Amino acid sequence: MKPKPRLLTVLDLLAAVSVLAAAGLVFFYAPVEQMMGAVQKVFYFHVATAWVGMLGFGVAAVSGILYLQREEERYDVAGSAAVEISLVFFLIAIIMGSIWARPIWNTWWTWDPRLTTAAIVELIFAAYLLLRSGVDDPERRARFSAIYAIFGFISVPLTFISIRLLRTIHPVVIGSAEAASQGGFNMDDPMKTAFFFSLAAFSILFADLLWHRVRLGELQRKVIALRFKSYEEED
Partner 1 sequence: MLVFSLLVILIFNFALELDLQARTSLSAGILWATFIFAGTIGLNRSLAVEKDRGCLDGLLLAPVDRSVIYFGKAVGNLLFMLIVEAIVLPLFSFLYAFNVFQPGFLLVVLLGSIGYAAVGTLLSTMVVQARTRDILLPILLFPLTLPVVIAAVKGSQGFFQSLPYEEFSVWINILVAYDLIFIAVAMMVFDFVLED
Binding site for partner 1 (CB under 8 A): 68, 120, 123-124, 126-127, 130-131, 133-136, 140, 143-144, 146-148, 150-152, 154-155, 158-159, 161-163, 165-166
Nearest distance from residue 11's CB to partner 1, in Å? 33
Beta carbon nearer to partner 1, 7 or 130: 130
CB closer to partner 1 out of 7 and 165 = 165
C-alpha dihedral over 37, 42, 47, 49, to 10 degrees?
170
For residue 93, give every residue at least 6 positions away whose Cβ sits within 8 Å of its Cβ, in sequence order, or none. 46, 47, 49, 50, 53, 118
Q: Measured from the CB atom, is 154 or 216 closer to partner 1?
A: 154
Rounded-to-integer distance, Cα 25 and Cα 93, Å: 19
Compute the distance between CA of residue 116 and CA of residue 66 in angstroms, rounded to an integer: 29
- CB 133 to partner 1: min, Å: 8
Q: 161 vs 225, which CB is nearer to partner 1? A: 161
Please count the other Cβ atoms lying within 10 Å of the Cβ belonging to residue 184.
16
**Which of 148, 133, 134, 19 lies closest to 79, judged by CA?**
148
CB of 155 to partner 1, least distance (A): 5
Which of 73, 8, 49, 74 is CA-nearest to residue 207?
8
Supply the minimum distance, in Å, between the C-beta of residue 159 and partner 1. 5
Residue type, 212: H
Please, what is the minimum distance in Å from the beta carbon of residue 123 to partner 1?
4
CB of 95 to partner 1, least distance (A): 20
9 versus 155: smaller Cβ distance to partner 1: 155
118's CB contacts (< 8 A; 6+ apart) are: 50, 53, 90, 93, 94, 97
Query: Is the CB of 121 or the CB of 191 nearer to partner 1?
Result: 121
